[in-house]
Chains A and B, each alone.
Chain A
Amino acid sequence: MKSIYDETVDYIVRNQEMFYRLAYSYVQNKDAALDVVQNAICVALEKCDTIKNPSAIRTWFYRVIVNEALQYLRKHKKEISYDPQIMGEELLKQAYEEKFEMEGNEIYQKVMALPPKIKTIIVLRFYEDLSLKEIAEITQENLNTVKTRLYRGLSELGKNLKEELA
């Protein structure tokens, strides 16, 4: 059996790109996202011995990344713009280059512009494909709070709930 520490190191190495994307979706800046990933790894490896079961590493690490990203936003509040017009520009360019459909891009900008706590739910649910139960574990909220935030997020995106949750 490998130690939790070794398991966590392996998990980090394998999933680094996913961590970066998640971090980036909050901070919208390359260097800031790298900072968040770096801090999250340090925190995780310092505390990973408290995990009892290797199967919990996944949700636990999401929690560390989300917490680090939110903390970064709190610390650097003034520097981060929530204006979808401004922060969409870079993504828009990227999207054109990759020939993505405009429809999806518009929604993406809206998702990125959501308040962080609501964004967490939408990103984890629809972009990382986690279940609401897992998201509740990650955010340390009860399931009803998660659901409320999900509905609020979807209505802010102007989405028909039935359509997305079908």
Chain B
Amino acid sequence: MKELEQSKMIYENIEIPAELDMVVKNAIAAAEEKRKREKSASGEMVNLQEEKRNKNNRKKIYTFVRYTMTTAAAIVIAFGIGLNSSESFAMEMESHPFLGPIAKVLTIRSYHGFDEAKGIEKDIEVPQIELGELGQAAGGAVGSINVDIQRIVDNHLLQAEKDFAGYQKDFLENGGSEEELAQRTMDLDVEYEVTYQDENKLSLVLYYYEASTSAYEKAYYYNVNLKDNQEISLQDLLGEGYASLVNEQIITQMKARMEADESVYYWGVYGEEEEGIEGFTGVDENTTFYLNAKGNPVITFPEYEVAPGYMGIQEFEITIK
């Protein structure tokens, strides 16, 4: 009998106090504040750092949004502690309109590195939404989104590993050498971005990139009403007549882009069909979108759906009048 191993169970069951999460977030927010102050104290350093951050625009936005959220969470923490210690403070808080069921988006899985055995370079950040006091346990739309994200990422990674292993096998069987094969690697990248958040709405985009012999990009869009924990539809945002409103704006934008740049081409803009390609036929309840920083819905089309593959994912911002 290994008594030490048994006693490990007691160690592992040391009760985690409810405050831990707050303490940790508070400490991170405090460190972040301190860091910002120190940075702005030394101008040149800031520029260098900023330049580095600007390199990848998408990551920059994500970082910004995430830090904003950390600060928002820290405000709630401060209020939460006040609630326990002072009743009058609690009364004041109840009338504060901003403190709704605040949601957080956290990275729950992260992997960065080169898997030599498989020849795959992975940069993976998998998000999870936590809603208010329920945290990860919130069911509803948030719960199913969290499950969906895990499933999507797992499926992509499994499929990519399988595909690349098959490619490696074919390559060697067709006379390629191990040395040549070592030069051929696969890049897998999973990222996310919180594109919009206020006390009512959260918009999260999950990106999957895969690059080996060819490149492939796919995005998944999640929009949640935080008040009732339901997914938001275009109809919720734009009303019953959303389809004609959106279609009109998309066609206008497609035409403008085609005129401005001759390498841009959209199928179906003038109603014609080309070699059986339907192209843009109008939006419906399955059309994907996210909310941008202004809170406007941005309609998205996957590669190949409305334009040639080289144009990648196509996006159209819809302005709400």
Interface residues of A (CB under 8 A from B): 1-2, 5-7, 9-10, 12-14, 16-17, 20-21, 24-25, 30, 34, 37-38, 41-42, 45-46, 54-55, 91, 94-95, 98, 100-101, 103-108, 111, 122-123, 126-127, 157, 159, 163-164
Contact = CB atoms under 8 A, between A and B. Distances in A.
Contacts of A6: 63
B7 A10 contact: no
A41 B8 contact: no
B15 A41 contact: no
B20 A34 contact: yes
B27 interface: yes
A7 B110 CA distance: 9
Given A9-B28, A103-B1, A17 B6 contact: no
Contact of A37 (B1, B2, B8, B24): B24
A14 B3 contact: no
Given A10-B107, A10-B110, A45-B28, A17 B7 contact: no
Interface string B17-55: 101110111111011101100000000000000000000
B91 interface: no
Given A2-B125, A38-B27, A100-B10, 12 more contacts: A6-B63, A7-B112, A13-B28, A13-B106, A20-B14, A20-B16, A37-B20, A45-B27, A46-B34, A55-B113, A94-B10, A108-B10
B294 to A, nearest CB: 26
- Per DSSP, chain B at the interface is helix
B84 interface: no
Nearest to A43: B31
B286 interface: no
17 contacts: A12-B28, A13-B24, A13-B107, A20-B20, A24-B14, A25-B11, A34-B20, A37-B24, A41-B27, A55-B113, A103-B3, A104-B6, A104-B8, A104-B9, A127-B12, A163-B2, A164-B2
A108 B7 contact: yes
Contact of A16 (B7, B21, B125): B21
Contacts of B63: 6
A7 B28 CA distance: 12
B112 A41 contact: no
A127 B108 contact: no
Contacts of A17: 16, 20
B139 to A, nearest CB: 22
Interface residues of B, number: 41
A25 B14 contact: yes
B17 A94 contact: no
B12 A21 contact: yes
B188 to A, nearest CB: 14
Nearest to B106: A13
B112 A54 contact: yes
Interface string B101-134: 0000011101011000000000101000000000
B13 interface: yes
A140 to B, nearest CB: 23
B31 A34 contact: no
B10 A104 contact: yes
Nearest to A123: B11
A103 B9 CA distance: 12
Nearest to B31: A45
Given A30-B17, A54-B112, A126-B5, A42 B31 contact: yes
A6 B191 CA distance: 14
A16 B4 contact: no
Given A95-B10, A108-B11, A12 B4 contact: no
A94 B107 CA distance: 32
B2 to A, nearest CB: 7
A127 B11 contact: yes
Contact of A14 (B6, B15, B25, B108): B108
B88 to A, nearest CB: 25
Nearest to A55: B113
